[in-house]
Amino acid sequence: MFLRRLVETEPGGLGTREFIRVLRLLDGCSWQRLQDAVERALDVGVHDADGIWLIVEHRRQAPVVLCSLDGRPKLRLVDVGRTELSARR
């Protein structure tokens, strides 16, 4: 199914090349990890090896631990205003 989607989205043999690039990702991860990443990629409309590799790498990373500010009453006195995002354009 994945190969068919690649061939449909990348005419002229590019889909087959991209499929081979996806298979080469097995050099750096397990079959199950790659399969899970491909399924996720298909869910979000990603059809290239680079995007699939990003999914693999993202899932390898440990979740970020948030810093607790409990026990730091001085920080409650700090007033940080809202950032106006439209000013950054």
DSSP conformational letter for 61: S
Is residue 41 a part of any domain in this protein?
Answer: yes
Residue 9 pLDDT:
67
Is residue 77 a part of any domain in this protein?
Answer: no
Residue 65 pLDDT:
87
Residue 52 pLDDT:
95
Residue 27 pLDDT:
95
pLDDT digits (tens), the chain, 89 positions: 666 666 666 667 777 888 889 999 999 999 999 999 999 998 998 888 999 999 999 999 988 888 888 888 888 888 888 888 887 76
Which residues are within 8 A (CB) of 47 and not within 5 positions of it... i.e. 6 or more apart?
5, 6, 9, 10, 18, 41
Euclidean distance between CA atoms 31 and 35, whole angstroms:
6
Is residue 81 a part of any domain in this protein?
Answer: no
Closest CA to 20 of 35, 33, 6, 32: 6
Residue 55 pLDDT:
96
- 32-68 in b/e form (b: 16+ CB < 10 A) is ebbeebbebbeeeebbbbebbbebbeeeeeeeeeeee
Is residue 33 a part of any domain in this protein?
Answer: yes
Domain count, the chain: 1
Is residue 80 a part of any domain in this protein?
Answer: no
Is residue 7 a part of any domain in this protein?
Answer: yes
Is residue 73 a part of any domain in this protein?
Answer: no
Residue 82 pLDDT:
85
Is residue 79 a part of any domain in this protein?
Answer: no
Range of the domain at 51: 2-60
Residue 32, φ and ψ in degrees, nearest 5: -65, -40
